[in-house]
Structure formats: structure tokens, C-alpha cells
Amino acid sequence: MIFEWDENKAETNFIKHKVTFEEAQTVFYDENALLLADEKHSDEEDRFILMGMSSMMNTLLVCFCERGSEENEIIRIISSRKANKKETEQYWKRRLP
């Protein structure tokens, strides 16, 4: 899996949400992450939202799209933010039996 993003967008995202895209990419390795279609923002391309735990132990929402092929999968991170209280509860409710 290869990650890419727009550097200007990454900087803007950090200023607004205090989350780096480097941290956001670690959510893709959370086996308990929840994947949702982002139909609201999928006019030109299919976008997805992944909610999961980062390596910094933050529950994050990561908006992304997929590029490339099955052999050369590229994940383009569009935005990321910390989950709010309700979203965090949803994540933990799903994760814990």
C-alpha cells in the first residue's frame, strides 16, 4: 500500500485539525477500523471514510480515495481529523464485545 497526498492540503489540514497525514496513514493498519462510503463527496471519484485508531492512540476519521491498480494500490489522503465524542463511542462500541 502506497500513500500520497497534496502537501498544501496536508499543511492546511494540520493547521485546522492538528492531525498530520503521516499519523492519518497509520489508521489503515487498525484491524478494527470502520470503512464507510463518503457519498456526499463522491461526485467525481469514489471517496471513503475510515475511522480507526492511529499509532498515536487517537481515534481519527480519514477521508481518502483509491488510485492505481490492485497490484499497485495508492491511497490518496484527502483530509483527517480527530473523531468527536459520539464517533469515538461508536468506534469503541464496535471494537469491544
pLDDT digits (tens, 9 = 90+) for 29-60: 999 999 998 867 656 778 999 999 999 999 99
Q: How far apart are CA 41 and CA 58, in angstroms?
A: 24
C-alpha cell at 74: 495508492
Closest residue by Cα to residue 24 from 60, 76, 48, 57? 60
Residue 45 pLDDT: 76
Say if residue 27's pLDDT is above 70. Answer: yes
Question: Domains of the chain (ranges plus CATH)?
Answer: 2-95 (3.10.450.530)
Q: How far apart are CA 59 and CA 42, in angstroms?
A: 23
Sheet holding 59-68, edge to edge: 2-4, 73-82, 59-68, 47-53, 34-37
Q: Is the pTM of this model over 0.85?
A: yes
